[in-house]
Amino acid sequence: MKSIHVSIRDQQLTVVEDEKPIRTYPVSTSRFGIGTEEGSFKTPTGRFRVAEKIGSDMANGTVFVGRVPLQPDEAPPPTEDQVTSRILWLEGLDEQNANTRDRYVYIHGTKHEDKVGTAASHGCVRMRNEDVIELFEIVDEGTPVVIEA
């Protein structure tokens, strides 16, 4: 069984299978710190699961708005926190992070790949597009996720 472990301190995501790390990727968690408050743009901690995988077979760099891929002729929204390539939508399993899915906290690709490895997101776990595509392929919906400080 695979699981995902995110270290906010190290800005790293590790995929573990049978208690052995099989992949490690740099990530970017919230520049606003750790927390679960609605509208806080903070990264929650605790136990989660991948509730839904979105974006299978989409091109690298595809921009999603409301979890729907933009068409090539549509202009991307004027936001610095674009969701690109793939979405792994997280659901909180602990009392304090039970609102995670309603807060739309994802593991997703970003156009700001140069900031991956530093705390720069708006609460989600950002990854390089190539990395999130690989992660998407090796984990399933229901995969356990732990995010810790």
Give me the chain's average pLDDT, please: 95
- Start-to-end CA distance of the chain, whole Å, equals 24
| Superfamily of chain region 2-148 | L,D-transpeptidase catalytic domain-like (2.40.440.10)
Sequence-separated contacts (24+) of 77-81 with Cβ below 8 Å: 80/112, 81/110, 81/121, 81/122, 81/124
Tell me what pLDDT residue 123 has.
95
Query: Average pLDDT in the 10-26 region?
Result: 97
CA angle (115, 66, 87) in 5-degree steps: 50
Tell me what pLDDT residue 54 has.
97
Tell me what pLDDT residue 48 has.
98
Sorted by where each begins, the domain ranges of the chain are 2-148
Q: Express each pLDDT in 55-95 by its tens digit.
A: 999 999 999 988 999 887 787 777 667 899 999 999 999 99
The tokens of 70 are what? Answer: 């933009």
Residue 132 predicted with pLDDT over 80: yes
Q: Which residue has the higher pLDDT, 70 or 29?
A: 29
Tell me what pLDDT residue 76 has.
76
Three-state secondary structure readout of 41-90: CCECCEEEEEEEEECCCCCCCCEEECCEECCCCCCCCCCCCCEEEEEEEE
| Residue 124 buriedness (CB in 10 A; 0-12 / 13-18 / 19+) | buried
